[in-house]
């Protein structure tokens, strides 16, 4: 019995010692686990910080990329033959529209070689509300701001607002720049009513899309000298209703416009316009028929001018990069008692080596001009080269 008790005492002593060792071991393990937890928490926090920093950096890069402007450059030059001297041509007149020595000739002014312009375009998203465009027209003698405006991105009630200096949305062709024309020059009726670069004004415009229709309202300064030219502010407004319908094989675009503003006689000029454009991509590589009619009532101090005219043009693409076209434009009414037999014929062929270059060959028969009071028909042949570098945003 005594031996058994001694054995139990010895076992209990060893067991107690083992328990104490286990407790110490557990304490060490707990300390190690606690340290590991702290290390994991530290690493997780560092990882979260790094992820946040990387996310911020990515967002900053995206924001920087979004705000970086898109740039483009358009170069236009030509070689030209015209059967009249340069000096005489610069003094042409068109009865009821352009007086002698007042003609603006921004393109192809001289026989021989012409560098017509370089057009530098800047487009950028400003923020969540606005984007902005600036278009600079650079000639050999000057740099002009062709357009500079902001547009709203957010469109409550589907209304887009544009403010600054911009080409009016009157009619169809007016909003385009020269390099977007199917022919070298703006149509005769537009040249006579608005000048060779169309109606370009400072002001504010509102555009509202409702299904297939677009409503346009513009409040403009009214500085255009061909039809308006009043020195008072807010002297011109334009209202246009435009329609676009897409069918299986073709597009139909149509619209009406009305512009009213004060002229330099402090009287009112009213201009009405209507257009129709058909585009069929299924015929050949594309066919376009484009026509516009404009009417002007211009009150002067001693008389009222009632004038109208139209143009129509047809363009056929034989291949994606080769095409040809015909245009005819005429003055239909030029009252009171002014020359009415004024018109132009144009024929052209174009070749596009790439999406960024175009060569255009054009013949023009111009029967609209007087020189020293005598009407003279003009024959003109030209080769025009157009080069585009970068992304051209403002007319896409």
**What is the pTM (predicted TM-score) of this model?**
0.82
Are residues 321 and 210 both part of a single domain? yes
For residue 43, what are the contacts with CB-CB under 8 A and spacing of at least 6? Answer: none
The CB density around residue 331, as the number of other CB atoms within 10 Å, is 24
Are residues 52 and 188 both part of a single domain? no
Are residues 304 and 252 both part of a single domain? yes
Are residues 320 and 176 both part of a single domain? yes
Give the pLDDT confidence of 210-231 residue by residue, as tens digits: 889 999 999 999 999 999 987 7
Is 133 domain-assigned? Answer: no
Are residues 233 and 208 both part of a single domain? yes
Are residues 195 and 98 both part of a single domain? yes
Is 138 domain-assigned? Answer: no
Residue (of 188, 175, 178, 170) closest to 310 by Cα position: 188
Is 257 domain-assigned? Answer: yes
Is 156 domain-assigned? Answer: no
Are residues 228 and 343 both part of a single domain? yes
Residue (of 119, 199, 21, 124) closest to 386 by Cα position: 119
Are residues 170 and 52 both part of a single domain? no
Are residues 171 and 317 both part of a single domain? yes
Cα 40 vs. chain centroid, distance in angstroms?
Answer: 56
Is 148 domain-assigned? Answer: no
How many angstroms separate the CA atoms of 132 and 151, rounded?
6
Are residues 100 and 53 both part of a single domain? no
Are residues 198 and 312 both part of a single domain? yes
Residue that has been written with the tokens 């009865």 in this structure: 95
* C-alpha angle 372-373-379 in degrees, rounded to nearest 5: 75
- The secondary structure of residue 174, as a DSSP letter, is G
DSSP string, 24-67: HHHHHHHHHHHHHHHHHHHHHHHHHHHHHHHHHHHHHHHHHHHH
How many angstroms separate the CA atoms of 236 and 225, rounded?
12
| Structural domain span for residue 50 | 1-68
CATH number for the domain including 189?
Answer: 2.40.160
Residue that has been written with the tokens 């005594």 in this structure: 2
Is 128 domain-assigned? Answer: no
Is 142 domain-assigned? Answer: no
Is 129 domain-assigned? Answer: no
Are residues 239 and 357 both part of a single domain? yes
Q: How many domains does the chain have?
A: 2
What is the length of the chain? 396
pLDDT values of the chain reduced to their tens digit, one per residue, 396 residues: 555 555 555 545 555 666 777 677 777 777 777 777 777 777 777 777 677 666 655 554 555 456 688 999 999 999 999 999 999 999 999 999 998 888 889 899 999 999 999 999 999 998 888 999 999 999 988 999 999 999 998 777 788 999 999 999 999 999 999 999 999 999 999 999 999 999 999 999 999 988 899 999 999 999 999 999 877 777 899 999 999 999 888 899 999 999 999 998 889 999 999 999 999 988 888 999 999 999 999 999 989 999 999 999 999 999 989 999 999 999 999 988 888 789 999 999 999 999 999 999 999 999 999 999 899 999 999 999 999 998 765 544
């Amino acid at each position: 019995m005594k031996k058994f008790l001694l054995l139990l005492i010895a076992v209990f002593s060893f067991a107690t010692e083992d328990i104490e060792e286990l407790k110490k071991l557990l304490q060490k393990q707990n300390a190690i686990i606690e340290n590991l937890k702290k290390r994991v928490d530290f690493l997780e926090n560092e990882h979260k910080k790094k992820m946040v920093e990387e996310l911020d950096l990515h967002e900053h890069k995206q924001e920087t990329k979004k705000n970086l402007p898109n740039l483009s450059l358009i170069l236009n030059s030509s070689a030209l033959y015209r059967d009249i001297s340069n000096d005489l041509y610069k003094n042409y007149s068109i009865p009821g529209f352009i007086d002698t020595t007042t003609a603006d000739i921004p393109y192809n002014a001289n026989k021989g070689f012409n560098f017509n312009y370089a057009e530098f375009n800047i487009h950028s998203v400003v923020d969540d509300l606005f984007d902005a465009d600036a278009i600079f027209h650079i000639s050999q003698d000057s740099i002009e701001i062709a357009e500079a405006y902001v547009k709203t991105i957010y469109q409550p009630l589907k209304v887009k607002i544009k403010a600054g200096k911009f080409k009016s949305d009157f009619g169809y062709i007016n909003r385009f720049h020269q390099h977007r024309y199917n022919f070298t020059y703006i149509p005769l009726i537009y040249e006579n009513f608005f000048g060779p670069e169309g109606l370009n004004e400072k002001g504010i415009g509102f555009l509202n899309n409702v299904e297939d229709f677009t409503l346009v309202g513009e409040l403009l300064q009214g500085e255009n000298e061909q039809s308006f030219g009043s020195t008072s502010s807010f002297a011109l407004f334009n209202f246009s209703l435009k329609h676009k319908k897409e069918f299986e094989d073709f597009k139909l675009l149509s619209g009406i416009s009305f512009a009213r503003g004060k002229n330099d006689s402090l009287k009112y000029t009213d201009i009405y316009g209507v257009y129709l454009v058909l585009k069929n991509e299924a015929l050949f590589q594309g066919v376009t028929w484009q026509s516009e009619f404009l009417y002007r009532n211009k009150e002067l101090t001693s008389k009222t001018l009632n004038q109208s005219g139209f143009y129509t043009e047809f363009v056929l693409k034989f291949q994606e990069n080769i095409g040809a076209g015909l245009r005819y434009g005429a003055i239909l009414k030029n009252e009171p008692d002014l020359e009415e037999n004024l018109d132009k014929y144009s024929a052209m062929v174009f070749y596009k080596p790439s999406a960024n270059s175009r060569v255009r060959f054009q013949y023009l028969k111009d029967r609209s001009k007087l020189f020293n009071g005598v009407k003279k028909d003009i024959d003109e042949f030209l080769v025009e080269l157009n080069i585009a570098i970068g992304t051209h945003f403002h007319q896409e």
